Amino acid sequence: MKSISDGIDPSTTSGRLMMNMLATLAEYERELITERVNAGITAAREGGTKFGRPLSDPVVVADKLKLVTEARAKGRTAEEAARLVGWSRATLYRNQQALPGRESIT
């Protein structure tokens, strides 16, 4: 294998040296980028930035769970009831488990 555009031949001693130097520089640059990103994230957190999904409003969740409960009482499946409020079935179950004192709607 030979790099035509760079004129580097890895079958020679100087070619292998050059390839190793380029690989080392690429690794160094990648580590610098990682350090800068981590420093930026730390600075943003110290500045009050919150990462991740915003927390759901408990009142909205409770209202949606009430609608789902009513739909389930009318014979809808968990999947259908969850779709009525814009949730997946997994989101429905997760929200049921998150609220203390709620019985499961199955």
Q: What is the pLDDT of residues 73-102, one digit of tens each?
A: 999 999 999 999 999 999 999 988 887 654
Instruction: Specify the length of the chain in residues.
Output: 106
Residue 101 phi, psi (nearest 5): 80, 5
- Spatial distance between the Cα atoms of 22 and 92, rounded to a whole number of angstroms: 52
- Residues 33-85 pLDDT 10s: 999 999 999 999 999 999 998 888 889 999 999 999 999 999 999 999 999 99
What local confidence, expressed as pLDDT, does residue 33 receive?
98
Ordered by start, the domain boundaries in the chain are 1-52, 58-98
Q: Is the full-model pTM beyond 0.85?
A: no
The pLDDT assigned to 49 comes to: 94
Q: Are 85 and 64 in contact (CB under 8 A)?
A: yes
- Statement: residue 1 has pLDDT above 80: no
What's residue 54's pLDDT? 84
